[in-house]
Amino acid sequence: MTEKEKCAAGLLYNANYDKELIQERIACKDLCQEYNGLKNSDTEMRYELLRRIIGSIKENICIEPNFWCDYGYNIKVGENFYANHNLVILDCAIVEFGDNVFIGPNCSFYTAGHPLNAKQRNEGLEYAHPIKVGDNVWLGGNVVVLPGVSIGNNSVIGAGSVVTKDIPDHVVAVGNPCKVVKKITEQN
């Protein structure tokens, strides 16, 4: 089993010393750097580069620079997607965003995690678990989403939250660790 196959299976794999994964990250980061250097007015080239970086995108996408990801091909973005400045997606596993997702500045999505065992960590081993963000989700600035987390449809994540566990549909959740503080109802 290759390191890439181990990663896709959610097993410990070696990302730091595997030549295939290193080359894929370098190629993706070169494209991200090119994207980040474009003029804001060059909307056609920005969209073209996003199509080359991101594995699957629909129409009406805007990602403000700076934007960084590891591989790009593991990212799936729905319709009407907006991310403010300094989006980071460590997409060692799939990161899927639904339709009508709005992301504040300085947000990060980390599918990668590392063993608690120092020997394994020092060998370059890590694991990756997918992240899923539903439809009509708003994430405030400085939100961090950790490996394996799903955020439900129509939910709001408050600024500065660290999302360590799944968040259900139709709620407002905030804090570190992020917890549900109220249901979103018709009256809201």
pLDDT tens digits, one per residue of 28-39: 999 999 999 999
CATH number at residue 8: 2.160.10.10
Work out how many domains the chain is built from and give that number: 1
In a domain? residue 62:
yes
Q: Write out pLDDT tens, residues 73-117.
A: 999 999 999 999 999 999 999 999 999 999 999 999 999 999 999
In a domain? residue 188:
no
- Which residues are tagged catalytic? 114
List strand residue ranges (DSSP E) for 13-107, in order: 13-14, 56-57, 61-63, 67-69, 75-77, 81-83, 87-90, 95-97, 102-103
Closest CA to 28 of 57, 6, 58, 49: 49
Rounded to two decimals, the pTM is 0.95
Residue 153: Cβ within 10 Å count: 15
Which domain does 143 fall in, by range?
3-183
Closest CA to 141 of 123, 124, 159: 159
In a domain? residue 20:
yes
Q: How far apart are CA 79 and CA 5, in angstroms?
A: 29
